[in-house]
Amino acid sequence: MRLWLGVLMGLWLPLATWAGSLPVPERGPALRIQGSNTIGAALGPALVKGLMEDQGLLKVSAEITGRDNEQRIVGQTRDGRRVEVDIAAHGSSTGFAALKQASTDLAAASRPIKDSELKELSALGDLKSPAAEQVIAIDGLAIILHPQNPLRQLDTVQLAKIFSDEAKTWEAVGSVGGPIHLYARDEQSGTYDTFKELVLSRQGKRLDPTARRFESSEQLSDAVSQDPQGIGFIGLPYVRQAKALAIVDGDSQPMLPLNTLIATEDYPLSRRLFFYLPPWDQNPWAQALVDFTQSDKGQAIVAANGFIAQTVRAMSVTPNALMPEGYQALSRHAQRLSVNFRFEEGSASLDNKAHQDLGRVLDYIKQHGKLDRRVTLVGFGDAKDDPARADLLSKLRAMAVRRELVKNGVTLREVRGFGALMPVAANSEDEGRIRNRRVEVWVY
């Protein structure tokens, strides 16, 4: 109620007019967003425009501010009042810093909030709570080369050696071309943080300080596509004219950054994109943007901007000899949904995205008439010393999802566990083990 009375730092005094159901301040922006360049370059502005149009604003457009990687989205109420939303896209870390300084209403991040940031921002409430931490899209880090580079795949160990300058030539990783030229995002970037976590840190490596660094995703991609000796990492929508490699992690199969593999987060370098919404003293425009983004309209905008929407759909899977026989049989007779349920670290509890996905999966099941024995859950886990224990744990994870579906009227056909088979990541690190602990949903 405080917001509607205009208590938030005087920003909403007086409430000059309304945009749909949202108040418009007398002066200054209605909403400030800071953080990830991956989100803020195009996706964030597109979502803001969609929200403004959904609110009935007129003449919605983007204005250049004159500052790199910043823009202002503007619209007009029916009585002629100007509505502004400011977006600054200088990297995920800057979004959390801006929350601490009260200079933003919403943090956009292409990585999860760090424990240190969570502690520093505790005065704003629990930013890891389901309402505060909102997964808005799935992205994949593409490893990109010049289009003429003959290399087709690399594993994560090779990637770490390349970007730490331990592997200095293309010949060292089975290709041709002489010295390797490195291209990387800047220190503030969530894309860089994700690459560092998924690739470099897992191998005890650091980025070679001679790598060329970029704040702009587009500029990095274009530079690699023009350099026959270049290699870089980038968010999926920014591959542009470059060539994307297939990636192997541990015992996983080589995987290209394909939409289906990223949607299920099986692709080794897939990642989540977030909005972080302070639980206390929320700007109503921030909550409205989160709600709009999670809607069908918002997720359509996510897809239109080259990211992977969280909209649930059924996918046919082609059986192959590397699959367990039971899994091959399943793939011959059923379709897999484009979502995996995953769990909080060190816990049997569904994580925040899984709770969001639960509603989407239930909607799909109901809309497609799958309530009565038309759904099979398949659990997987990480390797254990005792294979029987891995099998049991994988089935127990599937049972955790079953409980939630049964509460909502779903009668399942079957619950299966395949233990540590078909890994999608290396089991040598916590990150990989967490990715392997997953539950798939199949429908008949």
- The more confident residue out of 383 and 82 is 82
In the predicted model, is pLDDT for residue 10 greater than 90?
no
Under 8 Å CB-to-CB from 403, ≥6 apart: which residues? none
What CATH number should be reported for the domain whose range is 312-443? Answer: 3.30.1330.60
pLDDT (tens digit per residue) in 182-194: 999 999 898 998 8
Least reliable range by pLDDT among 2-6, 172-176, 212-216, 369-373: 2-6
- The pLDDT confidence band at residue 344, using thresholds 50, 70 and 90, is confident
d(CA 242, CA 149): 10
Task: Report pTM.
Answer: 0.84
Q: Give the pLDDT confidence score for residue 11 in this predicted structure.
A: 45
Q: Give the pLDDT confidence score for residue 8 in this predicted structure.
A: 37
DSSP letters of 183-196? EEE-TT-HHHHHHI
d(CA 243, CA 329): 35
Do the first three CATH levels of 3-132+277-304 and 139-263 match, i.e. the same topology? yes
Q: Give the pLDDT confidence score for residue 401 in this predicted structure.
A: 96
Sign of CA dihedral 213, 216, 217, 221: negative
Q: Give the pLDDT confidence score for residue 202 in this predicted structure.
A: 87
- The pLDDT confidence band at residue 3, using thresholds 50, 70 and 90, is very low
- The more confident residue out of 250 and 143 is 143
Domain boundaries, the chain: 3-132+277-304, 139-263, 312-443
Residue 153, SS3?
strand
DSSP letters of 319-356? --TTS-HHHHHHHHH-EEEEEEEEB-TTSSSB-HHHHH
> What percentage of the chain reaches a pLDDT higher than 90?
83
Mean pLDDT calculated for residue range 245-262: 93
Q: Give the pLDDT confidence score for residue 411 in this predicted structure.
A: 98
Question: Residue 424 — left, alpha, or beta (φ > 0 → left; ψ -120 to 50 → alpha)?
Answer: alpha
pLDDT (tens digit per residue) in 59-76: 999 998 999 999 999 999
What CATH number should be reported for the domain whose range is 139-263? Answer: 3.40.190.10
* Residue 255: both structure tokens together: 């995987």
- The pLDDT confidence band at residue 17, using thresholds 50, 70 and 90, is low
DSSP letters of 168-185? -BGGGGT--SSB-EEEEE
- Other C-beta atoms within 10 Å of 253: how many? 14
Q: Give the pLDDT confidence score for residue 19 in this predicted structure.
A: 64
In the predicted model, is pLDDT for residue 15 greater than 50?
no
Least reliable range by pLDDT among 16-30, 64-78, 202-216, 426-440: 16-30
What mean pLDDT, rounded, does the chain reach?
92
Secondary-structure class of domain 3-132+277-304 per CATH: alpha beta
Decide if 393 contacts 220 (C-beta within 8 A). no
Mean pLDDT calculated for residue range 350-378: 95
Residue 220, SS3?
helix
d(CA 429, CA 198): 10
Residue 362, SS3?
helix
